[in-house]
A = this chain, B = another copy of it.
Amino acid sequence: MASTTSPPVTYESINPKVKKCEYAVRGEIVTQAQRLQQELQENPGSHPFDEILYCNIGNPQSLGQQPVTFFREVLSLCNHPAILDRDETHGLFSSDAISRAWEILDLIPGRATGAYSHSQGVKGLREAIAAGITARDGFPAKADDIFLTDGASPAVHMMMQLLIRSEKDGILCPIPQYPLYSASIALHGGSLVPYYLDEATGWGLEIFEVKRQLEDARSKGIIVRALVVINPGNPTGQVLSEANQREIVEFCKKEGLVLLADEVYQENIYVENKQFNSFKKISRMMGYDEELSLVSFQSVSKGYYGECGKRGGYMEVIGFTPDVREQIYKVASVNLCSNISGQILTSLVMNPPKVGDESYESFIAEKEGILQSLARRAQALEDAFNSLEGVTCNKAEGAMYLFPRLRLPQKAIDAAKSVNTAPDGFYARRLLEATGIVVVPGSGFGQVPGTWHIRCTILPQEDKIPAIISRLRAFHETFMNEFRD
C-alpha cells in the first residue's frame, strides 16, 4: 500500500524559526561523542581512551556527583507518603527529613503530590521559596511573584514569548552567552542584540558597550525590550560587582528595558573576594520597588545540589502591570503546572536544613565538600589551560565552566576551513577523538570575531582531574606540533 505522494512535512516546509535555532551544548560534537561511546561499548579498545567525559554540559551528577542526602530523603518520602507513619521509616530516614515531608505535604491541598497544582505552583511552596529569597536578600519577596517551572529554560521561553512580537523586537544578550537565549529568541522570531563581554578584564560587563549596542540596534529600527544578564556568568564564570549591578539596574530603568537576570549559579561562587547579590536585592537597595521590571531565574539544576534531572526552578516576576501579569499567568495555566517533585525540591534548596536540625551538620558537610571541591577543580583546570601553549584562561569566579581562549596556528585554521568547520570546532573535534573529552566550541556561545574558545565544565570528579589534565596537555602538544606555523 506504499504511496508515492510526498510526505506532508519536509525540511523545506517546517517553521523557519525552528531551522534557525541552534543549541551547541548538545550539538554536533555531542552527537559524535555519543557515537564514540557506542563504539567503545560494542568494541572496547577501539579508541585511545576508555570512557567519554562529558564536559560539554553543566550536569554534575552525570559525572558522579552524589545528590544531597536530605533533599533526596524528603523527595522520596513525599513520593510515597504511605510510609511516613511506619516505624521502619525512622530507621531509614533522618527525623528532620520526615518532619519536613509532613510539613510539605501539609502545604499541598489534600496532600496530593500527584495532583496538578495551582498554575504558578503550590502556594505554600511558593511561600517557602519567598521566605528563602527574603532571607537571602534582606528584602521581602512575595509568593504571588513566584512562578514555579520545570527548570529555568521554560521560564526563559515564557518571557521571550511574552516580549517578542516580530524580528523588530530585540533582546540584548551578552556575547559569549548561554545559547538557550539565542535559541529561544530564534524560536520566537526576535532579534538578538549582542553586547560583548571584555575578556581582557575577566569578562567585564561594560555599560558603555551595552549602551552602544542598544543605540546601534535602535538606529536600525529594532525595539529593544529586555537586557539579559547572566550572573555568575555562563560560559564566562565572572561574578558581577555590586557597583556594576547598580549601573545595570539604572541603565534598564532609564532605557525602559526589562532586566532578565539569569541567577541560576547563585550558589556557585569559588573566590573569597566575590559574593553573589541578586538583582532584586540591588534594585531594592537603590530604592526601586515595582518601578523596575525584573525577572530572576533560578534552577535546582545548578548550585551545589546539581539536580538537573529533577527539572525544578522558578522565576520571580517583579514590576509588571496587573494586566500583563495576568497574561503570564494565562500562559502558565495552558501548561497546567510544573512537576511537583521539582516544586518541592525548589522549596528545599531555598530552605535547606538549619542549625539544630538533625541533618544540619551532615548537610553542611556535603554542601561544603562539593563547593570546595568545585573550587579546587576550577583552579586546577584553569592552571592547566593557562599552562598550554597559546591558551589563556580567565578565572572561574563562579558557575561551572572555564572558557579558555585558543590562539591557534594559521595551519590549524586553514585545516579547519578546508573541512568547513570553525577552528574551535575543529579543535574540539580533535580533542574528543584523541581523549574522549567533550567540550563545546566557543562559536556555540558567540565570541569576538577572529577569537576562538572552548567551554569546558569543571565537573569531572576530583580524582580524575590529574588524568584529564595529562590527556589534555598531551593532546594540545600534539595538535600544536602538527599545525605549527
Query: A18 touching B310 by the CB < 8 A rule?
Result: no
In the assembled complex, A126 has its CB within 8 A of some CB on chain B: no
Cα(A157)–Cα(B79), bound, Å: 28
Q: A6-B256, A75-B80 are in contact. Are A23 and B330 (CB under 8 A)?
A: yes
Number of copies: 2
User: CB-CB < 8 A to A331: which residues of B?
Assistant: 18, 21, 187
Contacts of A112 in B (CB 8 A): 61-62, 64, 309
Q: Is the CB of B82 within 8 A of A88?
A: no
| CB of A192 to closest CB in B, whole Å | 14
The answer to whether B116 touches A308, judged by C-beta atoms less than 8 angstroms apart, is yes
- Which of B2, B6, B339 contacts A342, CB < 8 Å? B339
Q: Does A219 interact with chain B (Cβ within 8 Å)?
A: no
CA distance A16 to B308 in the complex (A): 33
The interface stretch among A287-295, A403-411, A421-429, A474-482 is A287-295
Residues in B neighbouring A79, C-beta threshold 8 A: 72, 75-76, 79, 341
Select the residue from A7, A109, A165 with max chain B CB neighbours within 10 A.
A7
Q: How large is the interface on A (under 10, 10 to 19, 20 to 34, 35 or more residues)?
A: 35 or more
Across-interface contacts of A89 in B (CB, < 8 A)? 88, 92
Tell me if B69 and A82 are in contact (CB < 8 A). Answer: yes
Q: A67 near B: Cβ within 8 Å?
A: yes
Per the bound structure, the CA–CA distance linking A164 and B188 in Å amounts to 12
| A1 with B256: CB separation less than 8 A | no
Task: Select which of B1, B86, B293 is within 8 A of A9 by beta carbon.
Answer: B293
Which of A22, A163, A306 has its CB near the most chain B CB atoms (within 10 A)?
A163
Please provide the chain A residues from 160 to 178 with a CB less than 8 Å away from any CB of chain B in the complex.
Answer: 161-165
Contact pick for A26, options B77, B165, B333, CB 8 Å: B333
User: From A75, which residue of chain B is reached at the shortest CB distance?
Assistant: B79
Known: A89-B92, A324-B10. A307 touches B114 (CB 8 A): yes
Q: In the complex, which residues 255-274 of chain A have their Cβ closer than 8 Å to any Cβ of chain B? A: 256-258
Quick check: is A321 within 8 A (CB to CB) of the other chain? yes
Query: For residue A58, which residue of chain B has the nearest CB?
Result: B116
Which stretch, A133-141, A147-155, A349-357, touches the partner chain B?
A147-155
Residues from chain B with a CB closer than 8 A to the CB of A114 are 61, 67, 306-310
Are A150 and B150 CB-contacts (below 8 A) given A92-B83, A113-B309, A291-B3?
A: yes
Expressed in whole angstroms, the Cα–Cα distance for A411 and B93 within the complex equals: 63
Look across to chain B and name the residue whose beta carbon is closest to the beta carbon of A307. B114
**Given A15-B162, A79-B79; A62-B308 close (CB under 8 Å):** no
Query: Complex formed: what's the CA distance from A76 to B180 in Å?
Result: 32
CB distance A339 to B311 under 8 Å?
A: yes
Whether A334 contacts B72 by the Cβ 8 Å rule is no
The answer to whether A327 and B19 touch across the interface, beta carbons within 8 angstroms, is: yes
A276-313: contact bitstring with B at CB < 8 Å (1 yes, 0 no)? 00000000001110010100000001000011111100
Chain B residue nearest to A114 (CB atoms) is: B61
Give the nearest-CB partner of A225 in chain B: B8
- Do A321 and B11 have beta carbons less than 8 Å apart? yes
Q: What string of 1s and 0s marks CB contacts (under 8 Å) between A51-70 and chain B? A: 00000010111111001010
Do A1 and B287 touch (CB < 8 A)? yes
Assess the B72–A76 pair: CB atoms within 8 A. Answer: no
Q: How far is the CB of A84 from chain B (nearest CB, A)?
A: 10
- What residues of chain B lie closer than 8 Å to A119, measured between beta carbons? 26
What's the least CB distance linking A154 to chain B, in Å?
Answer: 7
Known contacts A11-B327, A18-B327; 20 further A-B pairs (Cβ under 8 A):
A1-B288, A3-B253, A8-B293, A10-B323, A11-B324, A15-B188, A16-B165, A26-B333, A59-B116, A61-B113, A62-B115, A72-B80, A76-B76, A88-B89, A88-B92, A151-B335, A151-B336, A154-B154, A311-B339, A341-B341
A residues sitting closer than 8 Å to B (CB atoms) are: 1-3, 5-11, 13-19, 21-23, 25-26, 57, 59-64, 67, 69, 72-73, 75-77, 79-80, 82-83, 86, 88-89, 91-93, 109-110, 112-117, 119, 150-151, 153-154, 157, 161-165, 180, 183-184, 187-188, 225-226, 253-254, 256-258, 286-288, 291, 293, 301, 306-311, 319-321, 323-324, 327, 330-331, 333-342
A-B CB contact pairs (8 Å), 8 listed: A8-B257, A8-B293, A15-B163, A16-B165, A60-B115, A72-B82, A73-B80, A309-B340
